[in-house]
Each structure stands twice: as C-alpha cells, then as structure tokens.
Amino acid sequence: MTQKLDIYTRVTNKIIADLEAGVRTWHQPWNAEHLAGRITRPLRHNGIGYRGLNIILLWAASVASSYTAPIWMTYRQAQQLGGQVRRGSKGETVVYTDKLRKTETDDNGQEREVAIPFMKGYTVFNVEQIDGLPEHYYATAQQMPKGIERDEAAEAFFAATGADIRHGGNRAYYALEPDYVQMPPFEAFEDAQAYYATLAHEVTHNAEVRIMPRRSSLTAAQWEDQRGVSA
C-alpha cells in the first residue's frame, strides 16, 4: 500500500509542477519523429500500448528527457532482443496492477472467492537509452503531411513582439540568457492552432522577462528555480 501511495503521490506532484510551469505533460502537439507516427500513448517492446497511470508516468519522463521514441522495455527484454542498456542510464518506474483471488470462509461457514487488488512497480528504459536493438526500434517517420498553412495575422503578431524565434529540433522552450524562443518546425505540428498555441506559451516567457524588471535581473538558474521548467 505504501508503494501505491508513493507512486500516486509522485504522479500528482509531477502534474502539479508541470501545470505551474504552464506545461501540459500529457499533450505534445508535434510529431515524435518516430516510425510509430503520432503516438497517443507509450508503447511496450511488443507494440502494445501502456494503460492508466503508466501513460502519465512515461509521458512525463519523455518530456523531461526529450525522448522522441515512444517505446519502452525492461532491462531483460532489451537483452532478449540483443540490446544493451547504456551504463549509467536511469530507468523509469511503471506499475503493474492486478487482483489476487483467494477463497475465504464467511461468518456463516460458506466459502466465497474474494479479489484483493495489488500494485507493484518495475523499471523500464526508453529505446533511446539502449544500443543494439533491431533497427525498427530506432526508425524515424516521415514528416506530417504539409497540409497546414500559416496564419498571416498570427505571423504578423509574433513578428511584432520582437522575440527571436528559432526553429529546429523536437523541443519547445524559451532560453533566458541567450534570449530566444526555440520551436520545432512548423510542419511537425498536428495543426496550425497547435503551433501558434505553443509559440504563444513560449513567447509569454520572453515577455515576462521583458515586462517584469525583477525577473530580467535574475540569472537563468535563478529564474528557472522560481518558475520551474522554462519550456
């Protein structure tokens, strides 16, 4: 029971911290750039999706470590597939829940079956932490179809902010001391609304430093300590 409470507390604290930082851990509106395409939930080594609490745990881990691959496996599973977890890699805890069934005798002397829920944790690693797996575990996907179009009014608005907006990579964040906003490519987003919503969030960090003198006098480390994650 203690382990169960610890795991739920960990997830709750993570979600609260992300919300305070303006990050929705459970939603990343751009392509994960993996063969599996636009993933709705993390996958096991056999392609089966994780469920319940594990989705939040692994989404949070992916955001924190910038993993683009959605596939996770245990140390033993990696070895069975010919892979090896890199030395020093930190795994993530996921949970397995089930019910233990047993027969008990009630006050009337009648036997009845009862189900006792239980939860146990185990450790998994992202495939980006593992070398030597079959190639398809690392394969990248084609870019999303380029059917989305830029919004001229939105483009003009963000240009007028004067923010240094750069594109590339698979993370969206505001870098304080270099003073620029980093965004994934426009084509990587699921739609224009997702792109501009993400950009607006990051430009807000930029504006916060400009508008609030006390913030602008802080170092990058101090600013991130007060705010949390800058992304």
For residue 40, the one-letter residue type is T
**If residue 33 lies in a helix (H) or strand (E), which one and from where to where?**
none
CA-to-CA distance for 122 and 85, rounded, in angstroms?
Answer: 15
Q: Which of 88, 109, 142 is the last residue of a domain?
A: 142
58 and 119 housed in the same domain: yes
How many domains does the chain contain in total?
2
* Per-residue model confidence (pLDDT) at position 88: 95
Quote the pTM value: 0.54
* Per-residue model confidence (pLDDT) at position 217: 47
**If residue 111 lies in a helix (H) or strand (E), which one and from where to where?**
strand 111-126
Q: Which of 126, 142, 158 is the last residue of a domain?
A: 142
135 and 29 housed in the same domain: yes
Q: Enter the DSSP assignment of 31.
A: -
74 and 149 housed in the same domain: no
Q: Which of 142, 159, 183 is the last residue of a domain?
A: 142
22 and 73 housed in the same domain: yes
* Per-residue model confidence (pLDDT) at position 91: 94
* Per-residue model confidence (pLDDT) at position 26: 55
Sheet with 111-126, edge to edge strand ranges: 72-73, 111-126, 92-105
11 and 114 housed in the same domain: yes
CA-to-CA distance for 74 and 231, rounded, in angstroms?
Answer: 29
131 and 148 housed in the same domain: no
21 and 103 housed in the same domain: yes
**Would you state the torsion angle of the CA atoms of residues 71, 72, 76, 77, taken in this order, to the nearest 10 degrees?**
-30
118 and 84 housed in the same domain: yes
138 and 158 housed in the same domain: no
Contacts of 175 (CB under 8 A, 6+ apart): 181, 182, 220, 230
133 and 148 housed in the same domain: no
The answer to whether the CB of 37 falls within 8 A of the CB of 201 is no
Nearest to 147 by CA among 195, 184, 199, 191: 191
130 and 165 housed in the same domain: no
CA-to-CA distance for 156 and 53, rounded, in angstroms?
Answer: 41
Beta carbons within 10 angstroms of residue 59's beta carbon? 22
CA-to-CA distance for 184 and 206, rounded, in angstroms?
Answer: 17
- φ and ψ of 216, to 5 deg: -65, -20
The segments of the chain whose pLDDT lies below 50 read 1, 4, 35-39, 141-142, 144, 213, 215-217, 219-220, 223-224, 226-231
Q: Is 101 helix (H, G, I), strand (E, B) or coil?
A: strand
pLDDT tens digit sequence for 195-211: 898 899 888 887 776 65
Q: Is 7 helix (H, G, I), strand (E, B) or coil?
A: helix
The answer to whether the CB of 13 falls within 8 A of the CB of 228 is no
Residue 172 belongs to what domain range?
143-231
20 and 134 housed in the same domain: yes
pLDDT tens digit sequence for 45-68: 998 989 887 887 887 788 778 787
